[in-house]
Amino acid sequence: MKFVFIVNPIAGSEDKARIFKNIKSAFRDSDHEMIIEETQAQGDAKDIAARYAAEYGADCVVVACGGDGTVHEVANGLAHTETPMLLLPMGTGNDFAKKVYGTKEIDAEKIISQFGFFGGDIQYEVKPIDLIDYNGEKCINVMSFGLDTIVETIGRKMVAKAPFLGQKAYTVAILPVLMKPLHYTISFDVICVDENGGEYNMAEDNKDFVLFAICNASYYGGGFCPAPDSVLDDGLLDFALVNGMALHKALPIIPKYSKGTANEKTCPGVITNGRVKCGRIWMEDGSPLLGNCDGENFSYSDLTFKVEEKALKMCFLK
């Protein structure tokens, strides 16, 4: 089996160089082939993944070595192909990995060892998972609008200037955002699914809101958890819609939103939760949506989305 490791440049990172030295050593004594592809620019990971999928199909595993940005690109490159993705969370933001590996305390070397990459006896299980299609692009984790997009933007700028902050940057980034009114506007028309499987419509024009998260997985923004009960292969997306509110009402909700306990029962009249299949989201005045997908901001003023069932093959620990 070919294992294609897609990674940001190894040079300059002592930890990354050490890890890959150990993996290379293990591959020398195995029947598998190790290929390292270093990215140089945005979009490279998607292109590399798509190229290997087209050439080798199921005879290849693409290993995404990075954070949510790398995972987003690789998922777009492998969607609807026979090539599975294996995730080694070696980035600054590893929110999707928290869902895949069932913990907020990500230990990349432990995960690498559990897959058998340090010993050469590589073990994994391939399962198909859902993706979100939005205007033709794919989202693997969370698509969100409003306050969290602003926090993501500030957090990324802080990490770029001070990498040592890591995930803490997103927590710190909340502070300047909270100093401004927590009222944003959005219009949406979506098809939801109730507990019995029945479909219903939810629509509003110029909705006053704080944030709107549509989730394939559970965590984003450095560990905030709008959808603790999300399932990666159920053909549905979980959502959390938070109404516009004053700062003093928002402060007690933030810890709950981080822990995954903010919902209609714990925050009545503030949050609407549910499951959704598809829909449209737009700005009435044609201005860009305040939104992001897998931590990457987008500038659409009108967006349609839908769940794509079992669109990506994923490697899980046995």
Per-residue model confidence (pLDDT) at position 120: 87
pTM for the model: 0.91
2-123 CATH, one of 3.30.70.890, 1.10.10.60, 3.40.50.10330, 3.10.20.740: 3.40.50.10330
> What are the residue ranges of helices labelled H in the chain?
14-27, 44-56, 68-78, 95-101, 108-115, 147-161, 168-178, 247-250, 253-259
What percentage of the chain exceeds 90 in pLDDT? 78
CA-to-CA distance for 49 and 115, rounded, in angstroms?
20
CA-to-CA distance for 292 and 245, rounded, in angstroms?
21
What is the SS3 assignment for 167-188?
Answer: CHHHHHHHHHHHCCCECEEEEE
> What's the CATH number for 138-308?
2.60.200.40
What percentage of the chain exceeds 70 in pLDDT? 94
Mean pLDDT along residues 145-172? 74
Q: For residue range 267-288, what is the model confidence (pLDDT) as tens digits? A: 999 999 999 999 999 999 999 9
Q: For residue range 30-83, what is the model confidence (pLDDT) as tens digits? A: 899 999 999 999 999 999 999 999 999 999 999 999 999 999 999 999 999 999
CA 309 to chain centre: 16
Structure tokens at 240: 């959390």
What is the number of other CB atoms lying within 10 angstroms of the CB of residue 221?
28
Q: Where are the domains of the chain?
A: 2-123, 138-308
